[in-house]
Amino acid sequence: MSGSGERLYRASEFARAAGVTVRALHHYDRLGLLKPKRRTASGYRLYGEGDFVRLQQIVTLKFIGFPLKQIKDVLDRDRPDLRTALRFQRIILAEKGRRLAQAVRAIEEAEVLLAAGTEPGREAFAKIIEVIEMQNDTDWTKKYYSEEAQARIAERQKTIPREVVEQGQRDWMALIAEVEAAAAEGVEPESARAQALAARWSELIRGFTGGDPEIQKGLNKMYSDPQWGAPFPKPYSDEAGAFIQSAMAASKK
Amino acid sequence: MSGSGERLYRASEFARAAGVTVRALHHYDRLGLLKPKRRTASGYRLYGEGDFVRLQQIVTLKFIGFPLKQIKDVLDRDRPDLRTALRFQRIILAEKGRRLAQAVRAIEEAEVLLAAGTEPGREAFAKIIEVIEMQNDTDWTKKYYSEEAQARIAERQKTIPREVVEQGQRDWMALIAEVEAAAAEGVEPESARAQALAARWSELIRGFTGGDPEIQKGLNKMYSDPQWGAPFPKPYSDEAGAFIQSAMAASKK
DNA sequence: CCTAAAGCCTGACGCTGCGTCAGGGTCAAG
DNA sequence: CTTGACCCTGACGCAGCGTCAGGCTTTAGG
């Protein structure tokens, strides 16, 4: 008997089988994202079946748009956090998609204009661009916040140290996860558990607004606007949103 | 009288007004994409109204996804080529959008699976990814080409020197532009002009397939499949496609 | 007029995910 | 023993700026 049993693949075989390049394998290796099972005495990389599975996962997550660093995290550390990560990613992609669609529409607009005026004169060109520019103008914040409040928000963002922001995001992620769970389980909005969640929720919001009432007002406007979702993507499901809203409403009564 | 008249802006003013950063201005300056109208004796950049217009154009084209290099070209050299460039860009963006939508659907699939099995066990995780993988599997070429033909195509692509490929693309762009024009003008497919275009068209196709009949067959299958557009984005409008098809049909009679 | 705070300048490195040489071992076949 | 065909490790390149660093200039205030 040979003792080992499992078949090993060399770099190029392995790469072809998985649909990536050898260079990519090197790259993943150096990043510690995917290290070959063995190496020959002369340094040749030898990959096994397990490596293949992992590479598939990497490719898949990459397809979904995860950066390699995060793929490494998800695969190595907090696999259970996959759920949150997925939702997060989906929302980001959806947002990208919206902008992309906008760009396409803008181009179409421009094409129509160009088709109308047969030749794109130097001035016509400028006008076309202006038109695109108008529709592009993403002035959504203006819809919700007064100029002042906007300035304050921007300023506030600058004064917050980066680490705090990141910690805050992690807090949000954690809380959202719990809220999602509660919503899914059908917890009563009046229950103590829901009330606790609502309290933490508004606590975090206060943390974000810094207690500025103007900003609070803007946020509330956004929340009550049925057009929700346009300004910035919400990192939680509709169900969770509805749940936390009714919970907070219940707390006011 | 002061003599000059036009108001000049300093870097930060100008940047804020246009919604870009000062660093971006530096960048554009070094690329020769946008040079300030004047400089003070001490080297400060001073931008004028004209610069503002140009910057708007740059920002707009960037929004549409043009790389800076191409923006420079379009703005400096072949503005009339804007039409072609726009269509090209729209198609690329649309393709991106499709892939993005695919990714989002994949994520949703995965989320459903995760919701079903409450906890993402280490094996469940793998399965989820597999599912995503399956739907991702973009095996469109297999739909149209036999294995052999695929191999030949791949091989052929390797044997073609880069410059030839680029020249070929330029040929295509030029021809497509003419076809678009002819289609828009309502040129008769039987006319000499249409026939000339059809001849050049099939000439280019032969150049691509290298005369390999198997590949030709695959192409034809693709052309006749109503699902057109899935394999790779076509860089011309439906009208142009219809036009060239009827022209080629007319030539066979 | 003097000074401190703001602004501006020019490098130059960093980030993402590899592509693409360059220079040099290794391995199986003839 | 000699080819090729593969493999390895650097190291630079690309796109579009972000982000210091180090050092002038301009400006508002006293």
**DSSP string for B118-148:** SS--HHHHHHHHHHHHHHH---HHHHHS-HH
A197 contacts A175 by C-beta, under 8 angstroms = yes
Q: What is the pLDDT of residue B34?
A: 97
User: What count of other Cβ atoms lies within 10 Å of the Cβ of residue A236?
Assistant: 22
Identity of residue B244 = I
Q: What is the pLDDT of residue B2?
A: 45
Q: Nucleotides of chain D within 7 Å of a protein C-beta?
A: 6-9, 15-19, 24-26
Per-residue pLDDT of chain A (253 residues; tens, 9 = 90+): 444 567 899 999 999 999 999 999 999 999 999 999 999 999 999 999 999 989 988 998 898 889 999 999 988 887 667 777 787 788 788 778 877 877 777 777 677 666 655 455 555 555 555 555 554 443 333 333 333 344 444 444 433 333 334 444 445 555 666 676 667 667 777 776 677 667 666 665 655 444 444 444 444 444 443 333 223 334 556 666 677 777 777 766 5
CB < 7 A to strand D: residues 21-80, chain A = 22, 26, 29, 43-45
- Provide ipTM, 2 decimals: 0.59
Instruction: Name the 3-class secondary structure at A191.
Output: coil
Count of alpha carbons within 13 angstroms of residue A197, beta-carbon side: 28
The domain locations on chain B are: 9-77, 80-138, 141-252
Find the Å distance, CA of residue A204 to C1' of nucleotide C5.
Answer: 36
Give dist(CA B136, CA A118) in Å, integer.
Answer: 42
Mutate to test the interface with A, among B59, B82, B99, B238 (most CBs of A within 10 A): B82
> Per residue in B39-75, is it b (16+ CB within 10 Å) or e — as a string?
eeeeeebbbbeebeebbbbbbbbebbbbeeeebbebb
| DSSP label at residue B79 | G
Start-to-end C-alpha separation, chain A = 76
Structure tokens at B77: 């050299």
Give dist(CA B41, CA A193) in Å, integer.
Answer: 68
Chain A neighbours among B 154-183 (CB < 8 Å)? none
Count of alpha carbons within 13 angstroms of residue A80, beta-carbon side: 5
On chain A, the residues whose CB falls within 8 A of the CB of B103 are 63-65, 93
State the burial class of residue A30 (Cβ atoms within 10 Å of its Cβ: 0-12, 13-18, 19+): exposed
Q: What is the pLDDT of residue A11?
A: 96
State which fold the A9-77 domain adopts: Multidrug-efflux Transporter Regulator; Chain: A; Domain 2 (1.10.1660)
- Nucleotide in closest CA–C1' contact with B23: D17
E strands, chain B, are: 9-10, 38-39, 45-47
| DSSP label at residue A227 | T
Tell me which H or E stretch contains A51: helix A49-63
Q: What is the pLDDT of residue A48?
A: 95
Structure tokens at B157: 């692509």
Q: What is the pLDDT of residue B28?
A: 98
Q: What is the pLDDT of residue B144?
A: 35
Give dist(CA B3, CA B49) in Å, integer.
Answer: 16
**Cβ contact (<8 Å) for B82 and A125?**
yes
Q: How confident is the model over B108-159, as pLDDT tens digits?
A: 767 766 665 545 555 555 555 555 555 444 333 333 333 444 444 444 443 3
Per-residue pLDDT of chain B (253 residues; tens, 9 = 90+): 444 567 899 999 999 999 999 999 999 999 999 999 999 999 999 999 999 989 988 998 898 889 999 999 988 887 667 777 787 788 788 778 877 877 777 777 677 666 655 455 555 555 555 555 554 443 333 333 334 444 444 444 433 333 334 444 445 555 666 676 667 767 787 876 677 667 667 665 655 444 444 444 444 444 443 333 223 334 566 666 777 777 777 766 5
B86 contacts A103 by C-beta, under 8 angstroms = no
Closest CA to A25 of A52, A50, A60, A49: A52
